[in-house]
Amino acid sequence: MDAVVDQNETEAALQGAANVVDEAAALGKRLASKVDRVFFVACGAPNRSMLALQYWIEHYSGSLEVRRYFPAEFMTQVPPRLDERTLVIMGSKSGTTKETVEAAKFLADFPAITVGFTTTEDKPLAQNVQHAILTSEVERDIVGLPHTSMAIAMIGFMGGLLAAKDNWPLESKLLSSLKALPKAAALTKAGNAARAAQEARDLEHDKVIYHIASGPMFCTAYVFGVCTLMEMQWLNSTPLESAEFFHGPFEVVDENVPILLLLGEDPSRPLMERTVRFCETYGKRLVVYDSKDFEMPGIEPEIRPIVAPYIIGVALDVIGENLAELHNHPLETRRYMWKVEY
């Protein structure tokens, strides 16, 4: 039986984040004059959402230096520019991610400005940063949506920061689009249900799957490939960046290997178009998702490239949910995570 997609549940799961985008943007504006550099610090899916934000800040800002770290590496490396002009942004959906909370506590000894994105004020992350943006809990975690929820709030913050720091002209269009994103995402997920169910059946017996994307869309390739298929389905699932694809990884392409190709609308799109052409020539089992094929109601044309990874992400979620049904392997199942010392 195909997985059931509840459109209302999807929209509700994202609404808490949409409700705080104005607050997040206002905080970004307030802090803009105080910072020269932005350090993103998080694990897993939040880290990859930050990859997309890093991309857009590097693309749009002529004044901000931006870097991204995993918390464990961040604390061992101790970047030397953790001064009062450094903004450190941390994220954790649970608010309890051990390394992220440790990094927040670690930063108490530095003059850097800290902002945390999580769900509720009682979470350790919220309690160990100077500023917290809270997206609220949802009744049930739905695969992929916590990643999208946190991204909505962080993108709102980025919009305010860019508007105040670099006179970025798209802030109002960004905020209106982010407020429309829960409904657009819910419509996308429901509308992709039949296609995704068939794709899951096509992939049911595969143990190795590759996912290729470029630019900010790589965050979606990573979250689906690692956080859904590796973590939740125990598959050998490898995300690859198209800029690196022709420097080794393309040698695995043949008529039998399944390859998921994700195209966005950002400046890196030509890299993926080249990759798709190659895979269509030498591969056969291709699953292509192009954000241009999705309507995205309520999303301003100039903002489509920024939110495209999350629209594609919710479309892919249905593949993961159907694979869980076909494998009789619930998405909540873990072998090690939260079960053993690691």
Contact 264, 305 (CB under 8 A): yes
| Nearest C-alpha neighbor of 285 from the set 221, 215, 188, 199 | 199
What pLDDT shows up at residue 338?
Answer: 83
Q: Is the Cα torsion angle 58, 49, 122, 160 positive or negative in sign?
A: positive
Nearest of 260, 252, 124, 140 to residue 200 by alpha carbon: 260
Residue 3 clears pLDDT 90, i.e. is over it: no
Residue 70 CB: number of other CB atoms within 10 A?
17
Among the ranges given (4-13, 205-214, 246-255), the one the predictor scored with the smallest mean pLDDT: 4-13
Strands 86-91 and 286-290: unpaired
CB 177 within 8 A of CB 299: yes
Dist CA 88 CA 72 (whole Å): 14
Look at residues 221, 203, 209, 182 and name the one whose alpha carbon lies nearest to residue 316: 221
What pLDDT sits at residue 140? 58
193-327 CATH pick, 3.40.50.10490, 3.30.1490.190, 3.40.50.2000, 3.30.70.60? 3.40.50.10490
Which of 4, 310, 289 lies closest to 180, judged by CA? 310
pLDDT, residue 102, reads 98
Across the beta sheet with 37-41, the strand order is 65-69, 37-41, 86-91, 113-118, 131-134
Residues of the chain with CATH 3.40.50.10490: 7-187, 193-327
- pLDDT tens digits along 163-188: 999 999 999 999 999 999 999 999 99
* CATH 3.40.50.10490 matches 7-187: yes
Contact 279, 262 (CB under 8 A): no
Q: Indicate the SS3 state at residue 142.
A: coil
Q: Confidence class of residue 145 from pLDDT cuts 50, 70 and 90?
A: confident
